[in-house]
Each structure stands twice: as structure tokens, then as C-alpha cells.
Amino acid sequence: MTTPLLDTRTLDRETARALPPGPRLPMMVQTVMFARHRAWYLPAVRRRYGDVATIRIVPRGRVCVVLSDPVHIRELFAQPITTAHTGEGNVVLRPIMGDNSLLLLDEDAHLRMRKQLMPAFHGHALRGYRELIARLAVAEVESWPANQPFRVHDRMRALTLEIILQVVFGMTDGDRLDRLRPLLDRVVSVDPVIMLGGFYPRLLKYPPWRHYVGAQREADATLYDEIAARRVSPDLAGRTDVLSRLLQNGEWSDVELRDQLVTLLLAGHETTATSLAWAFHDLARMPDVMRKAQDGDDEYLEAVTKESLRRHPVIYQVSRRLAEATSVGGYELPRGTTVMAGIGLVHSDPAHYPEPDEFRPERFLGDNPAAPWIPFGGGVRRCLGAGFSLLESTEILRATLTRHDLRAPNPTPEPPKPRNVTLTPAHGCTLTASRRS
């Protein structure tokens, strides 16, 4: 049963007075500020209203309580699965990922789906992906132009898409791959405006939403062809890609498989590509740090990845919808409240990370005291692909930095720019690469 949103239709005056404080700007103004400038707007809200604040955004003035204190965020992540619904908090993703996406399910349905997915992303399975990731990464960085500016984010998106297609989808058919690459790129390059269809399904009948749905249907047709072929593949038992592992270890309908594959595509392609672009953005502007990373040490390369995810949160916040009234952050929040854990707010807090604007991978080395680091969320809803993402990033960093020196033609840092649910370098992380001697 869907939990009704707490919004202007369901919020009474007494409840409104008991909510945490927040800006009184018109709902559409707050929506635009949140959608387009969240990395500026949410810190400004925190400075003005404190660690627990209320904003109101689409649809219908939805009540969103934003948390920025790690203690309060842990309270949220520790809520029972019957109390804090992540799937309902991610409803904006429904037109892209589908009804069966792991990110859109709650309670028993989520636990059942997660249990079937877990074997493909743990232990032995992860180690088995390393060689293919490394080979694809080397092929990509060997093709980079020498001493000519290019947009690294574009190259990372192409590389992580290829990794998803081969490691996750297990696709090797050349014609089918050639058809699917541009279609999937259109599917994951969704504008925040398109995502409004998650709240207003009637929009999907009109352009530009209708055009997006058309591209999605073309991509789906190719994915369903691949799923059908894989089900009867004579070598299914010997394959190690994620799709084949899912078919070997679970009971799946074609629609369920499609929704999980698209979820893994969006969650594991765009986010990893963006975090890598930010890592290269900072390394190119800090030659001393880049030289340390060029030694290819696993621990340091992983620390580079973690510091990039801290300094440039790709996903700035994650949401839960309260299925029942509960206490979070010192407030009794009513049923239907959307509660946002401010990942970017925690990672930029000098109380946890001194001089937070500095890029320092050493924060994540050795015996340094653990600070709150939550780019993959937390609790039972922590990102299933966290280990895969760190492995992938480490191998791509190694392939790149052992072969190239990077330089930023413009030393001025690039500001973040919203792209679907992520925050990317505004100019695509424009760099030059020169081969190391």
C-alpha cells in the first residue's frame, strides 16, 4: 500500500507548526533551487535554519525534511524497513527504472530482490570482474589524444557504459551492442524535467516526455531480445556476467530482469563515470597528489576515489518516505514526510573534515580516524554495488595514471552542474593527457 505524500493537500496547520523550520519561498522557486543548484541551496538552508530543516518542492509542495547531522542520519538509516520507505522516496525514478527496480521496492519485496542480486556483487564475483575491467580501461585510455584538450567525463561515460554492457549485461554481439549503445546513452542522459514524469504520469503522453519513452522502448526491445537469447544459451552455466548469474541463481520475469539491468546501468554507469571525472579534475590541478597516485598502489588509488566522492558528492542526498510517524532529529515527523539525508552536507562539514574544500586522499589512509562517509547511503539500503564501484574506479585510475600525465588547460575549478540525479563537472572535466615516458 502506497504511503500518501505529506504535501499541501494533506498538511494541516497544527502539523505544519510542529515541523522543523525552513524557507518560506514559493514552492516552484524552492523546486528550481533544489533541482538546479542543490549544492548551493541546501548548505544555505542549513546555515540559516540548522541541522534539521524543511523545504517544499514538487509535487504539490511536498514536505521534505533535510538532515545534515550524521547522528540524525544514522537515526534515519536505522529505521525499520516498515517505517522508512526508500522506494517511495525514489518515485521520481520510476519512469526510467521501472516498477520492479531495487531502488523502488520496499519491505519484503525489496529484501527478496536484494537477496537474489547480492551473489553477483560480493567476494569471488567481484574479483572475477577485475581483469575485464582493467582490459577495457587500458583500451580506452590508450586511445586518448595526445596533448589536446578533451572532455574526460565523456570518455568516462563511454568507458563505464562499455563495462556495464560487458561485465553486467554480458553482451558480446557486435550488432546488438552497436544498436544498444546510443539508445542506452539517451536513456541515462535524462534531464531533471523528464524525471517529473515520476510525479505526473500524464506528462509521458507529451513531448519531450513522449520522445524519451520512445527511446526507452527501443532500448527495452533490444534488452528483451538479449534476455530471451541468454535464457536458452547453451553456455549459460559457465558465464560469469551479472545477467547470467541472476538467471542461474534466481527466479526472474523478463520485466524484473529488465528493470534491474536498467537500474544497474543508471546507478553504476553515470555515477561512477562522474566520480572518476571529478577525481581526474582534481588530480590534474594537484601534480603532487597525481604523482603519488601514479605509483599505482591499490590503497592510495582507493583513497583517491573516496576523497573524490567526499569532495564532489555525485548524489547529493538520498530520500526516505515515512510510512508511519517517527522521531528523527529531535522532531516527531508525521506519516508521509519525505526525509532527505544530506550526503553533501555531511561531507563538506569542517567538523568532520578539516579544510573540506581541499582534496586530500590521505584522509582515507591507514589509521586516520573514521569520519562519516556515506556516498553509498547506509543501513539495509546501502548501495549493493559499492564494492563494484570502488573496484572499477581503482582499475580505471590505475590504467590512466600509469600511462598519462594530466593537466588542466584552465586551472580554475569547474563548478558542479546537475545531470539527471548526479552533479557533474560543468565543462565535462576538460583536460589534456600526455604519455608518460
Is 25 contained in some domain?
no
**Secondary structure class of 385 (helix, strand, coil):** coil
Please state the rounded mean pLDDT for residues 264-269.
86
**Secondary structure class of 223 (helix, strand, coil):** helix
Is 361 contained in some domain?
no
Is 163 contained in some domain?
yes
Give Cβ neighbours of residue 262 (< 8 Å, ≥ 6 apart).
96, 97, 98, 101, 187, 223
Task: Considering only residues 24 and 196, tell me which one the structure prediction assigns the higher pLDDT.
Answer: 24
Picking from 125, 95, 250, 226, the residue whose alpha carbon sits closest to that of residue 173 is 226
List the beta bridge partners of residue 339. Answer: 65, 320
**171-175, 216-220, 320-324, 415-419: segment of lowest average pLDDT:** 171-175
Structural domain containing residue 250? 91-336+383-435
User: To which H or E segment does residue 306 belong?
Assistant: helix 298-311
**36-40, 51-55, 394-398: segment of lowest average pLDDT:** 36-40
Picking from 185, 261, 178, 269, the residue whose alpha carbon sits closest to that of residue 227 is 261
CATH of the domain at 396: 1.10.630.10
431: left (phi over 0), alpha (psi -120 to 50) or beta: beta
Is 108 contained in some domain?
yes
The span from the CA of 226 to the CA of 254, in Å, is 10
Residue pair 219/258 in contact by the 8 Å Cβ criterion: no
Residue pair 321/79 in contact by the 8 Å Cβ criterion: no
Q: Number of folded domains in the chain?
A: 1
| Per-residue confidence (pLDDT) for residue 27, from 0 to 100 | 95
Is 52 contained in some domain?
no
Residue 178 pLDDT class (50, 70, 90 cuts): confident
Residue 408 pLDDT class (50, 70, 90 cuts): very high
Residue 202 pLDDT class (50, 70, 90 cuts): confident
Please state the rounded mean pLDDT for residues 89-94.
86
pLDDT digits (tens, 9 = 90+) for 203-219: 888 888 888 888 889 99
**Secondary structure class of 65 (helix, strand, coil):** strand
> Is residue 407's pLDDT more than 70?
yes
Residue pair 251/113 in contact by the 8 Å Cβ criterion: no
**119-133, 145-159, 401-415: segment of lowest average pLDDT:** 119-133
Cis peptide before 145 (omega within 30 of 0): no
Which three cell numbers mark 138? 587500458
| Per-residue confidence (pLDDT) for residue 369, from 0 to 100 | 67
pLDDT digits (tens, 9 = 90+) for 328-379: 999 999 999 999 999 999 999 999 999 999 999 999 998 776 789 999 999 9
| Per-residue confidence (pLDDT) for residue 302, from 0 to 100 | 96
Is 28 contained in some domain?
no
List the beta bridge partners of residue 53. Answer: 66
Residue pair 260/132 in contact by the 8 Å Cβ criterion: no
List the beta bridge partners of residue 406. Answer: 433
Is 67 contained in some domain?
no
Per this entry, what is the length of the chain? 437
Output the 3-class SS for 73-88: HHHHHCCCCCCEEHHH
Instruction: Name the percent of the chain lying above pLDDT 90.
Output: 76
Picking from 435, 373, 372, 375, the residue whose alpha carbon sits closest to that of residue 403 is 435
Instruction: Please state the separation of Cα 363 from the chain's center in Å.
Output: 22
> Is residue 84's pLDDT more than 90?
yes
**Whole-Å CA distances, 297 to 129, 294, 392, 395:** 19, 8, 14, 11
> Is residue 258's pLDDT more than 70?
yes
Is 368 contained in some domain?
no
Residue pair 167/133 in contact by the 8 Å Cβ criterion: yes
The span from the CA of 373 to the CA of 328, in Å, is 20
pLDDT digits (tens, 9 = 90+) for 45-83: 999 999 999 999 998 999 999 999 999 999 999 999 999
| Per-residue confidence (pLDDT) for residue 173, from 0 to 100 | 73
Mean pLDDT of the chain: 93
Residue pair 316/271 in contact by the 8 Å Cβ criterion: no
**Secondary structure class of 338 (helix, strand, coil):** strand
| Per-residue confidence (pLDDT) for residue 191, from 0 to 100 | 74
| Per-residue confidence (pLDDT) for residue 138, from 0 to 100 | 98
Global model pTM greater than 0.85: yes
Please state the rounded mean pLDDT for residues 385-407.
97
